[in-house]
Amino acid sequence: MEIGLIGLPQVGKTTLFNLLTGASYPTGILGETKVHTGSAPVPDARVDFLAALYRPQKVTYARVNFKDIPGVDLRGGEKGAAVRFFEEVRGADALCCVVRAFTAAGVPTYFDALLPLREFQELYAEILLADIMLVERRLERIRSGKKVSKQAAAEVALLERCLAALNEERPLTEVTRTPEEEALFAGYGFLSLKPLLLAVNVDEDGLKGGYPQQEALLRYATERGIPVVEVAARIEAEIAELPPEDRVEFLDNLGLQEPGIARLARAAYRALGLISFFTVGEDEVKAWTVREGTVAKRAAGKVHSDIERGFIRAEVFAFDDLRQLGSPAKLREAGLLRLEGKDYVVRDGDVIHFRFKV
């Protein structure tokens, strides 16, 4: 599962990618064509709480994979670059649009002024357009066939509904579909079906006093159910260079409780439909990643294939109950420690101990 960072050139994608993943790829390269991949820890206050309680030797956070996709100039530019761009985008499981809301002399802007909303609208329009082209190509292929089977007729009806939605600038997530149609849908690789989030790269002034089009941008995203994370990539990169003990003070000065990339990593994790369960002990406190809807036996397999094979029961309690009551013993007294079977659907924040036979 991978989230693709997309956006126009020079909006700070690589800067953000480096911050998230701890990489150090060169930034500010015009005409960059390299795709970078890496993973970022997902900061989680629940893991910190468990670590303080169990004092383990090792603490392991969940991680989320990112792909830094070079931006293309949407006003024409090189056609091959655009094709490559959309190929990479198609391969991502979710998308994070990065838009520019920082001023910097020497970094060329796409428009004459800072217009993050317009930037996002252009990108969004490209995503919808790519899907329109896909639908039209498919329709053409079916219609040029000699005999139209019943199945093809059903597909045409579905594609026409898709086209209508896209032409109204609505993403394909809004097209209702039956389970059979869902299977068809999965095969197309539509872009507007991918979960989307928006990262606004701001400067210090923007962080403190807002930036051009902020209100309109936030409204536009909210109306479409798109989560927004404002992050000051450049300043955060500078802060990340400081010794850990100095970082809090600098963040504090900016009015931040934690770095924007922490929020971005969490938002990406959620956008991918991922949740965490925890295992705890003196040796390690660890966040494990599963998709929403994963059952206990499968989750056990994440920890070890032997545990999945020999699965007997999962001892489960909810992190929130532990935080409220303060200790596992009190949870037991309160009857909040549950024994669950192999088909139990794991919830975000479950603390699990698997019982298994070897």
Give the interface with ligand GDP as residue ranges (CB under 6 A): 7, 9-15, 27-28, 32, 71, 102, 104, 107, 201, 203, 232-234
Q: Which is nearer to ligand GDP, 14 or 192 (CB)?
A: 14
- Closest approach, Cβ 127 to ligand GDP, in A, equals 17
316 touches 242 (CB < 8 A): no
Looking at residue 178, its amino acid is T
268 touches 21 (CB < 8 A): no
Helix axes 13-21, 260-271, angle to 10 degrees: 90
Q: What are the distances in angstroms from CA 114 to CA 23, 82, 101, 252?
A: 28, 23, 6, 27
Residue 350 pairs with which residues in a beta bridge? 318
- Closest approach, Cβ 25 to ligand GDP, in A, equals 8
Q: Which is nearer to ligand GDP, 12 or 116 (CB)?
A: 12
- Closest approach, Cβ 84 to ligand GDP, in A, equals 15
Q: Which is nearer to ligand GDP, 27 or 289 (CB)?
A: 27
Q: Which is nearer to ligand GDP, 206 or 349 (CB)?
A: 206
- Closest approach, Cβ 154 to ligand GDP, in A, equals 42
SS3 284: strand
Contacts of 263 (CB under 8 A, 6+ apart): 229, 231
Please name which of 177, 145, 139 lies closest in space to residue 159, comparing C-alpha atoms: 139
Reduced DSSP (H G I as helix, E B as strand, rest coil) percent helix, strand, coil of the chain, to 5: 45, 20, 35
Q: Which is nearer to ligand GDP, 14 or 21 (CB)?
A: 14
Q: Which is nearer to ligand GDP, 98 or 280 (CB)?
A: 98
- Closest approach, Cβ 335 to ligand GDP, in A, equals 51
Strands (E), 137-227: 196-202
Please name which of 51, 53, 60 lies closest in space to residue 328, comparing C-alpha atoms: 53
Q: Which is nearer to ligand GDP, 104 or 216 (CB)?
A: 104
- Closest approach, Cβ 68 to ligand GDP, in A, equals 7
- Rounded distance between C-alpha atoms, residue 30 and residue 11, angstroms: 11
Q: Is the dihedral of CA 122, 223, 103, 202 positive or negative?
A: negative
- Closest approach, Cβ 218 to ligand GDP, in A, equals 18
Q: Which is nearer to ligand GDP, 114 or 299 (CB)?
A: 114
13 touches 92 (CB < 8 A): no
SS3 95: strand
- Closest approach, Cβ 260 to ligand GDP, in A, equals 10
Q: Which is nearer to ligand GDP, 158 or 232 (CB)?
A: 232
Q: Which residue has the closest beta carbon to ligand GDP?
A: 28
- Burial label, 134 (beta-carbon count in 10 A; 0-12, 13-18, 19+): buried
- Closest approach, Cβ 9 to ligand GDP, in A, equals 5
